[in-house]
Structure 1
Amino acid sequence: MTILISGANGKVGTALTAQLKSRKLAYIALDHAQLDITNSTAIKQRLREYRPSIIINTAAFTHVDLAEQQQEKAFETNERGAELLAQTAASQQIPIIHLSTDYVFSGDKPLAESYVEGDAAEPASIYGKSKLAGEQAVRNANAHHIIIRTAWLFDEHSDNFAKKLITAAKQQLDLPSPTLRIAANQYGCPTDTSDLASAIVHLLQTYASKTTLPWGTYHYAGEPAISRLEWAQEILATAQTHGLITHQPILGPTTDSLYIGRAPRPVNSALNCTKIQQLLGIKPSQWRNRMSRLIQTMNHYENN
């Protein structure tokens, strides 16, 4: 089986290629320069050239705030690009795994509840709307598809909330009353990117052995769900335990409405992962363990 990955230099693409390489699985990893998914001619050429058994689309316009100003570009990549890739794959009877986001939901559910795959998708942001449009395009274009919605990705290598928070905390520590403002009106599921990559590899291995999958839409994210403010508190406590910071700044709760020009975020975007566990045997990411590993890695690099 040969696996083709689009958007291979992105966060998920990088984690996925690393795992495929370590497991000695055959893959072709193409970045934007090698495969522009909005170019139908380029897609046809690459599929003829490599003849993949399955495609994983990790290419996307992911800048949530910038999408509000660059709506056409967001939809061109997230909807039209996904559609072209899925259509061309279908014409050659190639299945596709496509990544989506928790931002397809409005976030209006009570905090005690989480979103299941069949819940109505009503995104508030342009980014969410473009990703939802991409989901619908993939469903319509290729019957043999898996759509994976994920959330709040972090890892040891790329820029993410945990790293930004620790950097900001360090910059504040010499002040008389170090304070960081953190959104208290966001509730979701931190997800380790390498765990998401492992879940995709599990799908690939299942497909290789059975030549089919239970096609459809799935949620894959971390557990437990937590507010961004509470997540920040845990990150800083762990950072202090591992010696990355000497003491913790005060965390002041705030809301997205105070950030002028920022795209709206769903208040509650917690994803229910029961379906992927029951049908595919894939367990949610345990983000506390992974976050501790990330901070230990940061500490190692700073002290060596």
Structure 2
Amino acid sequence: MTILISGANGKVGTALTAQLKSRKLAYIALDHAQLDITNSAAIKQRLHEYRPSIIINTAAFTQVDIAEQQQEEAYRANALGAELLAQAAANQQIPIIHLSTDYVFSGDKPLAQSYVEDDATEPASVYGKSKLAGEQAVRNANAHHIIIRTAWLFDEHSDNFAKKLITAAKQQLDLPNPTLRIAANQYGCPTDTSDLASAIVHLLQTYASKATLPWGTYHYAGEPAISRLEWAQEILTTAQTHGLITRLPILAPTTDTYYIGSAPRPANSALNCTKIQQLFGIEPSQWRNGLRHLVQTFSTDNEISCSDKSS
């Protein structure tokens, strides 16, 4: 089985290629320069060249706030690109795994509840709307599809909320009252990107052994669900435990509307992952484990950086 990955230099693509390489599975990893999924001719050329057994589309426009001003670009990548890739794959009877987001939901559910795959979608942001359009395009174009909705991705390599928060806290350590404003009106599921990559590999191995999958839409995210403010507290407490910061800043609750120009976020975008557990035996991401690994890596990187500067 040969696996083709689009958007291979992104957050998920990087984690996925690392795992495929470690497991010695055959794959072709293509970044945007190597495969522009909005270019139908380029897609056809790559599929003819590599003849993959299955495609994983991790390419996307993921800048939520910028999408509000660059709507055409967001829809082009997240909707048109997904459609062209899924259609080209269908023409050659190639299944596709496509990544989507919790932002396809309105976020109006009570905090005690989480979204299941069949819940009504009603995105508020351009990003969420473009990703939902991409989901619908994949479903219509290719019957042999898996759509995975995920949420609040973090890892030790790319920019993400956890790393930015730790950096901001470190920069304020010398202030008498270090304070960070954190949105308190967002509730969701932090997800370790490497766990998501492992879940995708599990699907790939299942497909390789059975030559089919129970096609459809699935949720994969971390547990337990948590507010953005609580997530920030967990991040900084873990950072302090591992010596990255000497004291905790004050976390001042605010709303996402505090940030001028920001896109609307779902108030509750917690994802229920029961379906993927029952059908594939894939357990939700345990984000506390991933957070510890991120902080430990952050600490090591900083030590290396400091050593380099002093030499």
TM-score (norm 1): 0.99
2:204 matched to which residue of 1?
204
1:288 matched to which residue of 2?
288
Q: Per-residue deviation at 1:193? A: 0.3
> What SS is found at the alignment partner of 2:117?
coil
Q: Given residue 249 of structure 2, which amino acid in structure 1 is its aligned partner?
A: P
**Matches of 2:115 and 2:35, distance apart in 1:** 33
**1:138-157 alignment runs, 5 A limit:** 138-157=138-157
1:270 matched to which residue of 2?
270
**Matches of 2:41 and 2:296, distance apart in 1:** 45
RMSD: 0.5
Q: Given residue 3 of structure 2, which amino acid in structure 1 is its aligned partner?
A: I
**Matches of 1:141 and 1:240, distance apart in 2:** 49
**Matches of 1:240 and 1:270, distance apart in 2:** 27
After superposition, what is the alpha-carbon deviation per residue over 1:44-89, rounded to whole angstroms, capped at 9, x for unaligned? 0000000000000000000000100010111011000000000000
**Matches of 1:141 and 1:34, distance apart in 2:** 23
Q: Per-residue deviation at 1:300? A: 1.4
**1:87-236 alignment runs, 5 A limit:** 87-236=87-236
Q: Given residue 36 of structure 2, which amino acid in structure 1 is its aligned partner?
A: D
**Matches of 1:39 and 1:302, distance apart in 2:** 41
Is 1:44 aligned with 2:44?
A: yes
1:71 matched to which residue of 2?
71
**Matches of 2:257 and 2:209, distance apart in 1:** 49
Q: Per-residue deviation at 1:299? A: 1.0
Corresponding residue pairs, total:
304
**Matches of 1:70 and 1:303, distance apart in 2:** 39
**Matches of 2:31 and 2:177, distance apart in 1:** 45
After superposition, what is the alpha-carbon deviation per residue over 1:145-196, rounded to whole angstroms, capped at 9, x for unaligned? 0000000000011111111000000111111111000000000000000000
2:61 matched to which residue of 1?
61
Gaps of 5+ in 2: 305-311
Is 1:21 aligned with 2:31?
A: no
**Matches of 2:80 and 2:262, distance apart in 1:** 25
After superposition, what is the alpha-carbon deviation per residue over 1:217-262, rounded to whole angstroms, capped at 9, x for unaligned? 0000000000010010111111111100000000000001111111
After superposition, what is the alpha-carbon deviation per residue over 1:254-282, rounded to whole angstroms, capped at 9, x for unaligned? 00111111100000000000000001110
2:309 matched to which residue of 1?
none
**Matches of 2:43 and 2:300, distance apart in 1:** 42
**Matches of 1:217 and 1:279, distance apart in 2:** 12
**Matches of 2:72 and 2:294, distance apart in 1:** 36
**Matches of 1:218 and 1:2, distance apart in 2:** 23
**Structure 1 consecutive aligned stretches of length 4 or more whose deviation exceeds 2 Å:** none
2:308 matched to which residue of 1?
none
